Structure formats: structure tokens, C-alpha cells
Amino acid sequence: MKLYSYFRSSAAYRVRIALNLKGIAAEQQAVHLVKPDPLPAFRRDVSPQGLIPAIEDQDGLIVQSVAIMEYLEERQPDPPLLPQGLAERAYVRAAALLVACDIHPLANLRVLRYLKHELGHDQDEVDTWYRHWVEDGLGRLEAFVAGSGRSGRFVHGDAPSMADCCLVPQLFNARRLNCAIDAFPTLLAIDAECAGLEAFRQAHPSVQPDAE
């Protein structure tokens, strides 16, 4: 399997964790999202929509980090990224999507660039935007997870799931951009548990082949 990744992409980070948790070896090909040349070449040769992350194997090119995790789960169910039980699975997916739909898209590189270049906001205003949505979203996720009665060492019980794959990269970015995250003790405790697992450590942006 091939993984098209960018070390700093939050969505690629999710997929790297999921692959590691599953124990699936993937040959990583870096596509630098900030330098001018790699993305046009990737669009020409691999994915016309330029979607990162993507994986490629016998089923072709698969995009969208949450769709990739669902695919990995169906292709190799063990160890699972989703718990047993319909209610439990819905809870994990909802937590994952709280990050993937409600937080990350607003803090994306292309959005921050648009605020700066097209709307003329200075870096301070862009940073304020970033912190607003990330802190707002993490606050809702904290309440959702803490109030669920379903969390344990991880978002669901004592095994990592799709939701932890989404949470950890979002917290990594929140720290990088100096968001106030002290108010989210449940999420921080889960993050600390994840940091103890090799699957999460080896997916960290700082240890990727294309890390700067």
C-alpha cells in the first residue's frame, strides 16, 4: 500500500495513526503542500483533485481521511478502529466527525490563506480566527466525550479508535498555534494515553520522512 502524505497535514496524521494501529505497512510518498511544485505534479500524476492524504492499493486510489479509515476497518477488521455495538460505533464516529467536520475544516491552510490574502486580515486576526474555532470545537468535543459515560483511557473505553486518530492531530495543531486547551482535561488525558502508544508516536509529524 502507498500513502500520499504531508508531514504537517492533520488529515494525513490521522491516517498514519490508523495504519499503524492496524499494523499495515505503507510506503510513504510525501507531497509538500506549501512548496509550489509538488502539488501540480501530484494532480497530474495521481489525483486530479489534489486530495491529501490518499492511499493506493489493489482497490485503487482512496481519498478523504475518514473514508480511508472506514476502508481500512472494512479491509482489515482486526484490530478494530470501531467498537462493537451500534450505539458505541455511532458515538465514536460522531466524536471523529466533530473534529473532521466541525473543527478542522475551519482551521485548514487554504482557509487561513484566504482570510489573509483575499480578505486582507493580518496574522493576528487569522490566529484569532484559528483559536476561536479550535477552542470552540474542542470545548464541544470535551463536553461530548466527558458527558458520554463511554470514555476511558481513550475516547471510547480502553482501546484506541477512529476518534483518537482524529483527536490527537487536532490537539497537536492546537498546541502549535497556542490555543488555550487547559479547559479540556478529558481530551488531554486521552491525548497523554495515546502518546504512550508506538502507533501514535510513529505517526507524529516530527518523525516523518518529509519533516522539516
Name the site residues for its own copies (rule: CB under 8 A): 48-49, 51, 59-60, 62-64, 66-68, 70-71, 74-75, 86-87, 89-91, 93-94, 96-98, 100-102, 104-106, 111, 114, 118-119, 121, 125, 129, 132, 140, 143-144, 147
Decide whether 107 or 199 has the Cβ nearer to its own copies. Answer: 107
Question: Reduced to 3 states, what is the DSSP secondary structure of residue 23?
Answer: coil
Comparing CB distances to its own copies, the nearer of 4 and 91 is 91
DSSP, residue by residue, 140-204: HHHHHHHTTS-BSSSSSBTS--HHHHHHHHHHHHHHHTT---TT-HHHHHHHHHHHTSHHHHTTS
How is residue 27 annotated by DSSP?
A: E
State which residue, 111 or 197, has the beta carbon closest to its own copies. Answer: 111
- In sequence order, the 6+-apart residues with CB closer than 8 A to the CB of 94 are 144
User: Which H or E element spans position 74?
Assistant: helix 65-75
Q: How far is the CB of 35 from its own copies (least distance, A)?
A: 21
Q: How far is the CB of 125 from its own copies (least distance, A)?
A: 7
φ, ψ (nearest 5 deg) of residue 36: -75, -30
φ, ψ at 29 (rounded to 5°): -120, 120
Query: Whose Cβ is closer to its own copies: residue 8's or residue 93's?
Result: 93
- Smallest distance, Å, CB 119 to its own copies? 7
Q: Which residues fall within 8 angstroms of residue 198, CB to CB, at 6 or more apart?
A: 20
Nearest-approach distance from CB 138 to its own copies, in angstroms: 12
CB nearer to its own copies: pick between 71 and 172: 71
Min CB(7)–its own copies separation in Å: 20
Answer for the pair 183, 139: CB distance below 8 angstroms, yes or no.
yes
